[in-house]
Structures are given as C-alpha cells and as structure tokens.
Chains A and B, each alone.
Chain A
Amino acid sequence: MPIAESEVTWVEEAKLGLWEQLYIPALIDGLKTTLSHMVSRKVTEQYPEQEPTMPLNYRGVHRLNRDANGRVKCVACYMCATACPAHCIDIVAAPAPAEWQKDGREKYPETFVIDELRCIYCGMCEEACPVDAIELTTLYDLTGFSREQMVFDKEKLLSVFDTTTQAGTDPVRTQAGKLSVASESPPEQK
C-alpha cells in the first residue's frame, strides 16, 4: 500500500542558536559525557578467568538423561533422529534387558551417537523426545583435538548428564514431553 501524502511529515532541521554555534559549550558537554564514561563501571568480562553464567535456555552440548534407577531414559524411538534437520543423531536400537522390560521398557539404544560438529544446536531433538531423555545443556566451550573426539557416543553423553547435574548448573528441565519452567530464563534479577 503506497504512503498517502497526508501521512508524510516534513521535518525541518532544527536551527542552531548562538550557544550551539559557539561550538565550545557543546564540546564541553561532550567531554563531560566521555569523561563520565571513562570513570564508570566497565562491562568487560575477563573470559578465561571469569566465566559467564549462561541462561538456562541456552542450547549447548547435549546430554542423555538417566531415570531414577540410573538407566538411560532413552527408549530408542528415533523421533529425535527424525526431527534432526542436520541428521547428526545416529541410534542403533536393541531389545531392552529382561529386568528393564518389567518396567514396560521394550527397547533401549545400543549405541547413541551425536556428531557435535554437524549439530546446529536448534533444540528440535529436545522438543521431539517423548520421554525427556535428550536435553541441551548450558555448556558452551566445546572443544576437541580431532573430528573423532567431537563425535559423542552414549557413554560420553551420559557422563555429560552426570557432570552437569552434579555441578547443579543444569537441572533436568523437561517434564512429560514439554519444556518445563526451568527452560525459560529466570526473571531479571534486580
């Protein structure tokens, strides 16, 4: 829709008075501003020494959650692998061990591999998971010496769960297939 002429306002440049034309008062005003910033509190974070606290909904390295008995929660339904737009999840399913089957677990992942280099950290696996087994943590400084090191297998992903829950940085944040309140950023701390 074109802009109607009645909607257009012509704005004239403000006319400078004597005070502005003298230039020096304006310069002194500017110097006051720059000087006040010079002595003000700095916003720099000294990164390696001082680590930032990430918001809880930050999408970093994956982890595989454990259930109350310490078993892997995943039921090898392939929904995360299907949802993944980068095709970085590779699951091989197997029949669950006999005592797991008493709890109604039919399948479990024999291997569960995520290529962290292919992953685009979109969080769709987390949303797709019906049993809240896969989650993204707030770990952001993911490094490795080779491509092979960056392909995380099941043990590695479970160990991420152990370390992050022990550190208390990442509580389990999905419940009953929905992102819980913990996945949202906490309200601004005043």
Chain B
Amino acid sequence: MPNFDITITAIVIVGLIGGILGVCGYLTLGERKISAWIQDRVGPNRVGPGGLLQPLADGGKFFLKEEVIPDHVDRVFYLLAPAVAVGTALLALAIVPFGSTTPAPEPVAITTPDAVATFDAQQKAYAESFNFVLAPGLDIGVLYIFALGSLAVYGAILAGWSANNKYSLLGSLRSSAQIVSYEIPLGLSVLGVFILVGSLNPEKIIAWQATPGGTPDPVLGSVTAWLRGIGLAVGNNWWLVLFQPLALLLFLASSYAESSRLPFDLPEAEQELIGGYHTEYSSLKLGLMLLTEYIHLVASSFMVAVLFLGGWSLFGLESISSNAIVAAVLKLLILCGKMVGLCVFAQLVRWTIPRFRFDQLMNLAWKVMIPLALLNLLAVIFVKQFGWSLIVLTGVNALLFFGAGVLGARSRGTITNPKRAVKKMPPGLPAGVTYAGR
C-alpha cells in the first residue's frame, strides 16, 4: 500500500466528485438530446449555444424550487434517504480507475538476494507514481463496489417507506426485489473475469488486459507475437470481452437493472407509479434522487470499460507518446471516452427496447441470466484448471448463448413470457360474451 498524501487525495476527491457531477449533468442533457433526435425532434436548444448550458439551468432550478416535506412522512428517514442514495453511489467511485494506473508490484521472493532492499525500492517507486484512482492498490476492489451496490437499495427502500405513500411503497418494493435479484447475475457474470485474472483489483485487471507479462496463451501467444510485430501494443492477454462476451452482455444488462434504467425502469415507472419511490420528494432532494441513477450509470460504465474493454488501452494508441504527461492525458481520455460511449449506448438502448413486465423481469434474472452466468463460470473454472487456451471460452460463450436461444425456441412460449394454457370459448356460447368466471 502506498502512503497517501492527504492534500493530493483531497484534491483528487474534489476533482473526481466535481467531474462526475458535471458528467452526470451533461448526461441529462445528452439523454434529452438523444431522445429528441430519436423522435425526430431537435431537443433543448434555448439555453446557451445549442442548449449546452441547459444542465446549469436545470440544476439552478432544482435549487430554487420550493422544498415541500409532506406532513405524513417519517421525517428522519425521509431526510436520510436521498443522502444514503447519493452517498453510496458516490462512494462506489472511490476505487474506479478513471485514467492510467499501475498495479502495486508483486512482492519479490525472499530467496533472492537483497529481497528486502528490492521490495523497499519497488514500494517507494510505486508510492511516488500517481494513480488515477482515489484509493489505489485496494485488493478487495470490485467486491467493494458490489457491497456498496447492495447498500444503494436502502436509498430506495427508505425513500419509499418513509414517504407513507402507496405509489412510493410499490416503487420501493419493486426496486428492492429488482436490485436484489440482479445483484446475483451482476456478481456471477464477472466472477469468471476474476478467476481468469486472479485478482479483484481493477488496476490489476486492466494490467492483465493491457500490459505484457505472465505466461503466454498456448494458442493466442503466436498471434500476440505477430500483432506486436506489426506494431500493435497488445497485452499478453487481450481485452476480456474477447473471452467473456456473454459475461459482458449479462453484466451490461444487470447494470442497467441495478441503476433502474429503461428497459428495467419498473421502480420509477412514470406510467404506473407517478414517480415510484421518489414521488413525495421535491426540490434538491428530487434532484439528488435523479442524480443517483446517473452516478450509477457512470460507475457501471467505468466498470464495464475496466473489466471487459481493456481500461485505458486502445490498440496501442495510449503509448503513442513517450512523454509521461501526454501519455497520462491520453489514457484518461481513452478511459473516459469509453465510459461516455457506454453511457450513450445505454441511452440508445433506452429508446430501442420496450419495457419488461415485472414477472418477465424476474424470469429474465432467475431463469436466464443466473443459469447462463453459472455455466460460464463453470467453463472458466475448467479452462483455468486444465490450462486450455482462452479462445475456448469464446466458443463456450457462443455455444451457451445459442443454446439458450434454441432452448427458448423449442419450449412453449418464451422463457421470459411462459405460455399459459388459453381456454378456448366453448361452442354454443354467443360470441362477444365474456368468458371470465365460467
């Protein structure tokens, strides 16, 4: 563990929170712009050039709105809920890398001469290098994010329960059922990644994908060598999306469900529940509740980029300059670019897929995603145990995907929408008479 300099850490905290909140503000503008474009409209364009200052106007409006606290709410929990929601969402960003990172050096074997001196020198060099993570070298890494992710549900539950409103309560019940269900595929899908890399530390996961080292893959090793020959800076191993495409799919879908974005927006469901668990909130508290969703989206987009898409690496573009500062900026831009790209993709998906019904939502998690994630995990364990080439996993993933499709096509109805026996109208009954109750 490096020694933390409190000033630098404080600056990074302020910069990170400011940056993330700014990104979230512009995601709301992006959301409105993208929805408008998809619906053949122009979108907000009155505030500033092309509507670019719209988030400032929205934020200012949230500040200036009257704060209504209804009489019938449980004040303590009502006031606590937005703080819990935003707090847990922001805390998760502590270990998310947002630029170039170097993992802590492995300890040298004690049998080597000068082991202690070498170790000290390595640790000193590591402590002096700057990592674009708030809490670098945290080995529980992703586990910490999952822990905070399950805490996030308390924000929704407290808001819904304390508001003493049936719509809010229904929203928070749905939210808790949904988030608890989707925690499982979310965690199971990335277990394969952790087993392949051998670490939960996001910095090590990026390094595994992006930097040379370790034993070369039996099949892909020669391809890697050839790619390096033509000037592409691939790591010894490639981006994990190549070996775990199914896991990426499952992780992406469950992360949308976790941040209750469409098509999984059942907890907020404007169509059915007014505003869901934040119905009774107004002013800045509502703003915080809405912000939480975007912070979750940003954090999960960062996680997808780090876990599956190689973090700050982009086909050798990141090492194009030998200047340390330029390289750091490039890596920062690449990783943040991937994050923004994934956020935009989420917003495209929002207007592409119709919403799920609640039973379909549950069926999708428990009957499709969890079994697939488990089988994928099993395949990773086999590959790791017997030292097969990682390319086997790509095949297994494709096989699982098509297998699930075949299974669904051959079963009655679909897995997400099982076919119930439809009673035909008995002959002789006048047409147009409702059949219910007979």
Q: Which residues from 1 to 36 on chain A have a C-beta closer than 8 Å to any C-beta of chain B?
A: 2-5, 7-8, 10, 13, 16-18, 20-24, 27, 30-31, 33-35
A53: CB under 8 A from chain B?
no
B402: CB under 8 A from chain A?
yes
B315: CB under 8 A from chain A?
no
For B142, the chain A residues whose CB sits under 8 A away are none
For B349, the chain A residues whose CB sits under 8 A away are 27, 31
Nearest chain-A residue to B429 (Cβ)?
A5
B399: CB under 8 A from chain A?
no
**How many chain A residues touch the partner (CB < 8 A)?**
31
Q: Is the CB of A16 within 8 A of B409?
A: yes
A69: CB under 8 A from chain B?
no
Nearest chain-B residue to A32 (Cβ)?
B352
Which residue in A10, A21, A23, A43 is a CB contact (below 8 Å) of B41? A43
B40: CB under 8 A from chain A?
yes
For A147, the chain B residues whose CB sits under 8 A away are none
Known contacts A10-B424, A34-B38, A17 near B409 by CB under 8 Å? yes
Q: Is the CB of B402 within 8 A of A22?
A: yes
Chain B 177-201 per-residue mask, 1 if CB under 8 angstroms from chain A, else 0: 0000000000000000000000000
A38: CB under 8 A from chain B?
yes
A20 to B410, CA, bound (A): 12
A37: CB under 8 A from chain B?
yes
A67 to B400, CA, bound (A): 84
For B388, the chain A residues whose CB sits under 8 A away are none
For B37, the chain A residues whose CB sits under 8 A away are 37-39, 42
Chain A 152-186 per-residue mask, 1 if CB under 8 angstroms from chain B, else 0: 00000000000000000000000000000000000
Which residue in A17, A23, A40, A46 is a CB contact (below 8 Å) of B40? A40
A16 to B409, CA, bound (A): 6
Q: Is the CB of B42 within 8 A of A44?
A: yes
A102: CB under 8 A from chain B?
no
For A43, the chain B residues whose CB sits under 8 A away are 40-41
Q: Is the CB of A22 within 8 A of B401?
A: yes
Q: Is the CB of A31 within 8 A of B348?
A: yes
What is the distance, in angstroms, from B408's C-beta to the closest C-beta of chain A? 4
Q: Is the CB of A18 within 8 A of B353?
A: no
Known contacts A2-B431, A33-B352, A38-B37, A18 near B424 by CB under 8 Å? no
For B42, the chain A residues whose CB sits under 8 A away are 42, 44, 46
For A24, the chain B residues whose CB sits under 8 A away are 249, 401
Which residue in A21, A27, A42 is a CB contact (below 8 Å) of B414? A21
Interface range on chain B (Cβ under 8 Å from partner): 20 to 34
A21 to B431, CA, bound (A): 35
For B414, the chain A residues whose CB sits under 8 A away are 16, 21
Chain B 32-68 per-residue mask, 1 if CB under 8 angstroms from chain A, else 0: 0010011111100000000000000000000000000
Nearest chain-A residue to B401 (Cβ)?
A22
A190: CB under 8 A from chain B?
no
A171 to B348, CA, bound (A): 48
B231: CB under 8 A from chain A?
no
For A8, the chain B residues whose CB sits under 8 A away are 431-432
For A34, the chain B residues whose CB sits under 8 A away are 38, 348, 351-352
What is the distance, in angstroms, from A27's C-beta to the closest C-beta of chain B? 7
A3 to B433, CA, bound (A): 9
What is the distance, in angstroms, from B216's C-beta to the closest C-beta of chain A? 32
Which residue in B38, B348, B406, B431 is a CB contact (below 8 Å) of A18? B406
Q: Is the CB of B430 within 8 A of A2?
A: yes
What is the distance, in angstroms, from A180's C-beta to the closest C-beta of chain B? 36
For B432, the chain A residues whose CB sits under 8 A away are 2-3, 8
Known contacts A18-B406, A27-B353, A42 near B431 by CB under 8 Å? no
Q: Top 6 A-B pairs ranked by shortest CB distance?
A: A21-B408, A30-B352, A22-B405, A44-B42, A5-B431, A38-B37
Binding site for A on B (CB under 8 A): 34, 37-42, 249, 348-349, 351-353, 401-402, 404-406, 408-409, 414, 419, 424, 430-432
A sample of 24 cross-chain residue pairs with beta-carbon separation below 8 angstroms, ordered by A number, consists of A2-B430, A2-B431, A2-B432, A3-B431, A7-B431, A8-B431, A13-B419, A16-B409, A16-B414, A18-B405, A18-B406, A18-B409, A21-B414, A22-B402, A22-B405, A24-B401, A27-B353, A31-B352, A34-B348, A37-B38, A38-B38, A41-B40, A44-B40, A44-B41
Supply 15 further A-B pairs (C-beta < 8 A) apart from A10-B424, A21-B406. A2-B430, A2-B431, A16-B409, A18-B406, A21-B405, A21-B408, A21-B414, A22-B402, A22-B405, A30-B353, A34-B38, A35-B348, A38-B37, A41-B40, A44-B42
